[in-house]
């Protein structure tokens, strides 16, 4: 799976958790927090993405990602090493 | 109200996911005594208003969603937007109310635990109903849950009364929450001999028959009820008319963990409630009993009514129409009483073809005209919980 595809998966789950973002055009440097996701929302989005990618990693390993692009990159790395 | 007076029901074989025994338990003979599907009355369509965002509803359990919809109706009816939110409290009656959601989560994630959704860490707790209600309705006084098995709903009202009386809040919302049973709890109730109905497995509409000779246990019904309790001294809000006055109440324990009822315990709370209301037995003209369809429970309750010299009062069984909501029953039945007071009519008792005590003043197959002056509501719960509540016609 490519990093771009992971980016799309994150966006899909973000829209599922925050339906208000249905029409929003996501940018790589968007931070989930700035888009209105609270801490539970962010955990949900990451957990859903990890499930979609069938990764077996703790949520805490994604904490250092500052924006969606970094999160996608981090998950891409994990997917390559699993 | 018209549905209540017509005795309209929704009984059938339950079909909500997680309500019937899974294939494997039937195939493996894990339950050889099971002869029938679980019967009950389920909410067919839950209309969720737009004021609740999809973002919130996505992670709200079914019990919570029903709680929000029910509270919205009561909130509007009582015009609580006009009240200082710091002076409003919430008591949610019921414990372990989201068992079906729990089973769904277990089944979805049993072999991949690390994918369990983070919100499960919040939503599995009954108090999540409090969290959602206080957030969406901006309730700032207090909120907590209170459990008393099938008396939980009425207990929530008694707790609300005390919160208002003590001045803790001006207005207290009492909610009997929807107890969302999974097949595990249904099977447990069946095994206990509490839940029917093998006898009417092929005729679900006839299965729920409190106080009838042919009853064989309670039939479950999905429900949630909200009652707003406030002090009579509080200034009236425009267009808000009180349904009734709370005149007396009582709670008492049997000192018994088991499900069996206690005649002494039931008599004690009835008399205590009447004493507090300063009412003689003959002044009670309507009783909304616990009346579940339980073999022993129904008989003991009628004995208690007889011992308290209340057999003259009109008697019907709301559960014959709604089913037994367990945690919600006490509030739903108080609401049924209030609506009957307002309508000046009493609803029928479905399936009461052959009452176990014919001398009682039953409202049987048809609704009747009657202007309630003083009503008595009874709720009892496993573990020896007895509660009684007297309601008087609201002063004009």
Question: Using alpha carbons only, how large is chain B's radius of gyration in Å?
Answer: 20
Stated as kind and residue range, the H or E segment containing B229 is strand B225-230
| Proportion of chain B above pLDDT 70, given as a percent | 97
Are B174 and B159 in contact, with CB atoms under 8 Å apart?
Answer: yes
Instruction: Report the pLDDT averaged over residues B80-85.
Output: 97
Residue B22 has pLDDT above 90, yes or no: no
Q: Which residues of A touch B53 (CB under 8 A)?
A: 19-20
Residue B60's contacts (CB-CB under 8 Å, 6 or more residues apart) are B68, B123, B128, B132
Instruction: Report the pLDDT averaged over residues B279-292.
Output: 98
Instruction: Report the pLDDT averaged over residues B247-274.
Output: 97
| CA-angle at B154, arms to B341 and B344, nearest 5° | 5
State the pLDDT confidence band at A56, using cuts at 50, 70 and 90: confident
Q: Do B119 and A44 touch (CB under 8 A)?
A: yes
Mutate to test the interface with A, among B52, B54, B55 (most CBs of A within 10 A): B55
| Residue B2 burial (CB count, 10 A) | 8
**What average pLDDT does chain A have?**
93
At B170-196, the pLDDT tens digits run 999 999 999 999 999 999 999 999 999
B119 part of contact set with chain A, CB < 8 Å? yes
SS3 content of chain A, % helix, strand, coil (to 5): 60, 0, 40
At B83-100, the pLDDT tens digits run 999 999 999 999 999 999
The pLDDT of residue B134 is 98
Distance from C-alpha of B356 to C-alpha of B302, rounded to nearest angstrom:
9
Residue B34 has pLDDT above 60, yes or no: no
Residue spans of alpha helices (H) in B177-318: 183-192, 263-277, 295-307
The pLDDT of residue B114 is 87
The pLDDT of residue B197 is 84
The pLDDT of residue B63 is 98
At B344-386, the pLDDT tens digits run 999 999 999 999 999 999 999 999 999 999 999 999 999 999 9
The pLDDT of residue B35 is 59
The pLDDT of residue B334 is 98
At A8-54, the pLDDT tens digits run 999 999 999 999 999 999 999 999 999 999 999 999 999 999 999 99
State the span(s) of chain B assigned CATH 3.40.47.10.
2-230, 244-393
Asked if residue B227 has a cis previous peptide bond (ω within 30° of 0), the answer is no
State the pLDDT confidence band at B141, using cuts at 50, 70 and 90: very high
**Least confident interval from B22-31, B247-256, B320-329, B365-374:** B22-31
Q: From the CA of B111, how many Å to the nearest CA of chain A?
A: 12
B55 part of contact set with chain A, CB < 8 Å? yes
The pLDDT of residue B396 is 55
Cβ-based contacts under 8 A for chains A and B: 31
Are B203 and B36 in contact, with CB atoms under 8 Å apart?
Answer: no
The pLDDT of residue A59 is 85
3-state secondary structure of B286: strand
Residue B271 has pLDDT above 60, yes or no: yes
**What average pLDDT does chain B have?**
95
Residue B395 has pLDDT above 80, yes or no: no
The pLDDT of residue B272 is 98
The pLDDT of residue B28 is 54
Q: Please, is B242 exposed, middle or buried when counting C-beta atoms within 10 Å of its C-beta (0-12, 13-18, 19+)?
A: middle
Residue B31 has pLDDT above 70, yes or no: no
CA neighbor of B377 nearest in space, from B201, B254, B199, B251: B251
Q: Do B114 and A44 touch (CB under 8 A)?
A: no
B244-393 is classed in which CATH architecture? 3-Layer(aba) Sandwich (3.40)
Number of domains in chain A: 1
Q: Do A17 and B55 touch (CB under 8 A)?
A: yes
Q: What is the CATH number of the domain that holds A25?
A: 1.10.1200.10
C-alpha pair distances (Å), A43 with each of A58, A69, B24, B313, B337: 11, 16, 34, 57, 46
Closest residue of chain B to A17, computed from CA coordinates: B55
Q: Which two tokens stand for residue B170?
A: 């001006």
State the pLDDT confidence band at A82, using cuts at 50, 70 and 90: low
Find residues 59-78 of chain A whose CB sits inside 8 Å of chain B. Answer: 59
Right CATH number for B2-230 from 3.40.47.10, 3.40.50.300, 3.40.630.30, 3.40.190.10?
3.40.47.10
The pLDDT of residue B214 is 97
Stated as kind and residue range, the H or E segment containing B369 is strand B368-369
Among B53, B55, B115, select the one facing A47 at the smallest CB separation: B115
Buried b (16+ CB within 10 A) or exposed e, A7-25: bebbbebbbbbbeebeeee
């Amino acid at each position: 799976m490519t990093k771009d595809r992971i980016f799309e998966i994150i966006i899909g789950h973000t829209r599922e958790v925050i339906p208000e973002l249905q029409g929003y055009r996501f940018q790589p440097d968007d931070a989930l927090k700035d888009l209105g996701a609270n801490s539970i929302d962010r955990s949900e989005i990451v957990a859903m993405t990890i499930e979609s990618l069938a990764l077996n990693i703790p949520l805490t390993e994604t904490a250092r990602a500052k924006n969606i692009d970094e999160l996608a990159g981090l998950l891409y790395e994990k997917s390559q090493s699993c | 109200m018209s549905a209540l007076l017509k005795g309209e029901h929704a009984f059938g074989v339950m079909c909500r996911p997680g309500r019937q025994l899974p294939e494997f338990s039937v195939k493996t003979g894990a339950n050889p005594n099971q002869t029938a599907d679980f019967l009950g009355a389920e909410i067919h369509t839950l209309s969720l208003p737009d004021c609740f965002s999809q973002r919130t509803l996505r992670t709200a359990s079914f019990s919570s969603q029903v709680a929000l919809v029910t509270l919205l109706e009561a909130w509007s009816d009582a015009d609580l937007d006009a009240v200082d939110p710091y002076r409003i409290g919430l008591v949610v009656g019921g414990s372990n109310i989201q068992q079906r959601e729990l089973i769904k989560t277990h089944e979805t994630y049993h072999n991949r635990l690390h994918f369990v959704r983070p919100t499960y860490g919040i939503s599995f707790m009954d108090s999540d109903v409090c969290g959602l209600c206080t957030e969406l309705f901006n309730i700032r006084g207090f909120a907590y849950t209170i459990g008393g098995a099938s008396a939980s709903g009425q207990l929530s009202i008694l707790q609300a009364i005390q919160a208002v009386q003590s001045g803790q809040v001006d207005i207290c919302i009492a909610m009997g929450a929807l107890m969302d049973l999974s097949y595990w709890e249904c099977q447990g109730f069946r095994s206990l001999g509490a839940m029917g109905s093998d006898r009417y497995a092929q005729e679900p509409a006839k299965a729920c028959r409190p106080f009838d000779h042919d009853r064989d246990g309670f039939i479950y019904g999905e429900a949630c009820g909200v009652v707003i309790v406030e002090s009579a001294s509080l200034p009236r809000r425009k267009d808000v008319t009180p349904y009734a006055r709370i005149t007396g109440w009582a709670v008492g324990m049997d000192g018994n963990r088991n499900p069996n009822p206690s005649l002494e315990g039931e008599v004690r709370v009835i008399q205590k409630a009447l004493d507090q209301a300063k009412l003689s037995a003959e002044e009670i003209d309507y009783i909304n009993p616990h009346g579940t369809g339980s073999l022993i429970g129904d008989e003991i309750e009628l004995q208690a009514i007889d011992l308290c010299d209340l057999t003259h009062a009109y008697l019907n069984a709301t559960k014959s129409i709604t089913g037994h909501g367990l945690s919600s029953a006490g509030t739903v039945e108080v609401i049924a009483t209030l609506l009957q007071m307002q309508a000046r009519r009493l609803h029928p008792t479905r399936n009461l073809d052959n009452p176990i005590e014919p001398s009682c003043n039953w409202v049987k197959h048809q609704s009747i005209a009657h202007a309630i002056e003083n009503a008595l509501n009874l709720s009892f719960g496993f573990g020896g919980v007895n509660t009684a509540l007297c309601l008087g016609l609201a002063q004009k």
